[in-house]
Amino acid sequence: MAVTFLFCFLFFRFFYVQVVWSEELGYRALDQWTREIPIIPKRGKITDRNGVVLADNSTAYTVFARSNAIRDKESTAALLAQTLQLDFETVYNRLTKRKASEVTIAKRVEKGKVESLSELLLDGVYYSRDNVRYYPKGDALCQVVGFTSTDNVGTTGIEKYYDAYLSGEKGELLYETDLVGIEIENSVAAYLPAEDGYNVELTIDYGIQELAESALERVYAESSPKSASCIVLDVNTFEVLALANYPSYDLNEVPRNDAELLNTLTRNHLVCDIYEPGSTFKVLTAAIDIEEHLRGNNRAFSPNYIFPSSRTRAVDGTTVKCWSNHANGKHSNQTLAEALNNSCNPCFTDIALAIGSETFYEYLSTFGFGKKTGIDYSGEAYGLLLPQTALRACDLARIGFGQTIAVSGIQLASAVASAINGGYYYTPRLVKRIYADDGYVLQKNEPILKNRTVSEKTSNILTKMLEGVVTVGSGKKAYIEGFRVLGKTGTSQKYLDGKIAAGKYVSSFVGAFPADSPKYLALVTVDEPQGAYYGSVVAAPCAGEIFQGIISLKNIQPSVLE
């Protein structure tokens, strides 16, 4: 019995070693008898939708050494230090004090220096091609493209989000060695090729991006804000055509040694930060009212309804005011269109309270507030929306005109785009396709419809109203002669420690053109402008400049005005 048991044990042990464990043992043997030089894959390019290269590679080399294979370490260290312009002691210590069989002497070495080393025929010194990331457009689109670490790993932006596609797979060059790691004479090297990374094509139109960055730079120079941001969205697909933040930084000169400055300059405000939208939010309150009226909700107001002229309203003991004192008949007896033109707060308070929290919150959810849009970018903010169970009437009243709610720029831009495109809410995106150098397309991102927000009829009514804001209302500085532009201005106060921060505002404008068939939507936000701070004065002209630039860039012909 014992003999049988021992025989079975030996049989199963033999089977385990020869069959089950064979692959792992093979790898161990290969590791003992070979030394490998990594072959770095080429990182994929990042381009705009028209092929403009935004992130590329230049070739460099990494120098390795195997101390066991070096006969004269002092002489080799001296030659390495001299050729690569390194400190002798540092190199010598790496060759003598490291327990690892292979050490890295230097990364990102120029081709000329590697050629000089090759002529020295140093035992135990090897080289492999490396890639150095560089950005041909410098600071353009810097917060979106992002950058890589010194090891070429995506750290921020698209470089980080799509790192798995961009990075590729490393290869190896294997040499047969003896037990101490010295290459065997006349051995044959085995070559395992690297797999280069895929290229990423953005939805960004670099021409429009340049227009946006130039306009923001001008606003920054004139108003000295903390920052200024702009997103240009394709209204019909939610492709991001431009996304700019100013101030910017050169992607080739990343301030890695200053963490605070790095965090400030690399932050994509329109995706990762939130703010009270103020009067730009009235676009959505108006859309909700129009849609509910068309659905037969008798609590909603008809577009022809005349709102009373009172400039204040008491809600839960809180007084809701308009920005104007309504003197000399100003803002008296307005329709919804006129309320949008004048940006009159009490009218939108009336709408929110009449619609009621349950229905109003259903629309807020449909428009994407309080949750991520799903844009392909890390760190997207959820926004801030009070739980409906904790909502007071005064809170609902203020949400109606863009207070007591905080949104990200991409949330607001997407919501407004859906309100004016017939009610179609898509997932916004920054990447159009992922493809290989040989033309093979790994992934093509088509528009993804998430839900419907309002009807086509509501959109048509709303766009006509918003066109009036630009022709005769607060958005007149975004007007372009011969073209139909729609929009809405906004000016919101900022808070510090739960209290209104005196003199601190966010000026904004959201608009689109052509108004009869919206294509290009722009949201401009200016954080804490100095001097004039109204959105109508600071942000609207900036959007108008961008629209004018797009008209010239795309050779768009004037609208046929009705």
Give φ, ψ of 188 to 5 degrees.
-105, 125
Contact status, residue 272 vs residue 408, Cβ threshold 8 Å: yes
Residue 447: CB atoms within 10 A of its CB come to 14
Beta strand ranges found along 150-286 (DSSP E) = 171-176, 190-192, 199-202, 227-234, 240-246
CB atoms within 10 A of CB 132: 18
Using CA atoms, how far apart are residues 325 and 337, in angstroms rounded to an integer?
19
304 near 270, Cβ under 8 Å? no
Q: Tokens 């290989």 appear where?
A: 436
Do residues 84 and 106 make contact, with C-beta atoms less than 8 angstroms apart?
Answer: yes
Residues 341/474, Cβ–Cβ less than 8 Å: yes
Gap between the Cα atoms of 61 and 67, Å rounded: 19
Instruction: Let me know: does 155 contact 148? Beta carbons within 8 Å.
Output: yes
From the list 165, 208, 232, the residue with the least C-alpha distance to 445 is 165
Question: How many angstroms separate the CA atoms of 125 and 105, rounded?
Answer: 9
Distances (CA, A) of 426 to 244, 291, 297, 421, 456: 21, 19, 27, 11, 15
Residue pair 544/485 in contact (Cβ under 8 Å)? The answer is yes
3-state secondary structure of 60: strand
CA distance 144 to 430: 9
Distance CA 349, CA 183 (A): 81
> What is the identity of the amino acid at 164?
A
Extract the tokens encoding 2. Answer: 């014992």
Q: With 0-12 CB in 10 A as exposed, 13-18 as middle and 19+ as buried, what is 339?
A: buried
User: Does residue 167 carry a catalytic annotation?
Assistant: no
Candidate list 279, 343, 414, 508, residue with the active-site label: 279
Q: Which of 203, 239, 290 is nearest to 466 (CA)?
A: 290
Residues in the chain: 562
Q: Is 274 exposed, middle or buried (0-12, 13-18, 19+ CB in 10 A)?
A: middle
Q: What contacts 487, CB < 8 A, 6 or more positions away?
A: 466, 469, 470, 475, 478, 509, 510, 511, 512, 540, 543
Cβ(242)–Cβ(209) under 8 Å?
A: yes
Cβ atoms of residues 135 and 55 within 8 Å: yes
User: What are the catalytic residues?
Assistant: 279
